[in-house]
Amino acid sequence: MSENRQNQVGLALRNERRGEARKPTEGTAARVAKRAAESPAPTDKLMEEVVEGENLKRAWKRVKANKGSPGVDGMTVFALKDYLNEHWPAIREQLLMGKYQPQPVLRVEIEKPDGGMRKLGIPTVVDRFIQQAVMQVLQNRWDRTFSDSSYGFRPGRSAHQAVARAQQYIAEGFTYVVDLDLEKFFDRVNHDKLMGQIAKRVEDKRLLKLIRAFLNAGVMEGGLVSPSVEGTPQGGPLSPLLSNLVLDELDRELERRGHGFARYADDCNIYVRSERAGQRVMESISNFIVMELKLKVNSEKSAVAKPQERKFLGFSFTGGAKPKRRIAPKARQRFREKVREMTRRKKGDSMKQRVEELRQYLRGWRGYFGYCETPTVLQELDSWVRRRLRCCYWIQWKTGRRRYDALFRLGVSRELAANTAGSNRGPWYLSKSVALRQAMPNAYFDSIGLPRLAASR
């Protein structure tokens, strides 16, 4: 699209009009009351806010930045500008008249980190754009009413903050955790109950109708469209906000009972002072979730235990009076499996390609798990990654002659290079040999841009 045409799109959008259960403390009661009372008015003209120019510009930028796959119509994010430039006036009119009809979402499956498959529903890019615009308006009004102990999908909040809150409870003497796992949460949300919750906060019937239409748009899988009778498919911009609204009822109940907890999306940990208290809380809160929220607790994955025995958002904790954040064992295992997968010998993949893929993964992993307070674990993983790469290089060199030449070129003496190249030991054993460590010391991996997980000394 030419620069002039891009400006036309921007101008069009800009010119649119506009423990064991403790007794609730006084502060807790006041906070709950304040949240319950907040319902910014008016809410009967929200659709006009949705299609307001500045809101649409922010929505377009967000959808563009998120990229994402095409939906059922095959349209890419890059084609959205042209489409909106031609069709937005008609779409806007449909929204304001309460007649817009979303298309079905495209069903895709991705592998979960801990096994199994997660089902996603990918809306078309136009529907993602509209959902994003709706989400921005509603989030601006609703977020202030959500619990201080809720951290998922909220502006200015993060998983790290949720982990820090959990760590604080443990340090205060809440030595048992009620670890709740909601079974297929996003797939089981009751539409009627959810719409009832939304209707308490939104008077604009056009917006209520639009949200219901998104929920009921249907799912295309294998070329066939099936109806949506429950759930808020993961994959659309609106789904996280709606999930927080559903679980806000759980947050209010936990606050009413005076429990300390941390919740990130459907991961909820409640902290108590004894195992007996934890069992009581597990039973009563599970009943509340089933009876009131119409959701299901996964009894196999839920448990009452010491925090050191459970994981929360990929982290666990050490024991003692001053618990420290540590990387949960399963997270470390997944890290090793991922690195093995990326460095495994693949047809057509050069070492340069593998190192680049690994570089990107390590940066992201360090950005999240670098929050741990056990640096020795990071140092051990750093050492293991470098050894893994030395092994890969050794396999790539293949013949004794090429191995000798490579070692000598990288600064190893002729005698040591010859002895190592002629060894009948396996690649993994030789990856810790003196020759390979001399040829590829830590500084070598620094020079090719491989990030360290632990801070270098």
Q: Kindly report the pTM of this predicted structure.
A: 0.85
**Token representation of residue 141:** 């009004």
Longest dimension (CA), the chain: 83
Please count the CA atoms within 13 angstroms of the CA of 297 that sit on its side-chain side. 20
Q: Tens-digit pLDDT profile for the chain (457 aa)?
A: 444 444 445 545 554 444 444 444 445 544 554 554 445 456 778 999 999 999 999 999 999 999 888 999 999 999 999 999 999 999 999 999 999 999 998 888 777 666 666 778 889 999 999 999 999 999 999 999 999 999 999 999 999 999 999 999 999 999 999 999 998 887 788 888 999 999 999 999 999 999 999 998 877 767 666 666 566 767 889 999 999 999 999 999 999 999 999 999 989 999 999 999 999 999 999 999 999 998 999 989 999 999 999 999 999 999 888 999 999 999 999 999 999 998 886 655 688 888 999 999 999 999 999 999 999 999 999 999 999 999 999 999 999 999 999 999 999 999 999 999 999 999 999 999 999 999 999 999 999 999 999 875 4
**Token representation of residue 453:** 């997980």
C-alpha 205/C-alpha 407 separation (Å) is 73
Within 8 A by CB and 6+ apart from 129, the residues are 59, 60, 63, 80, 84
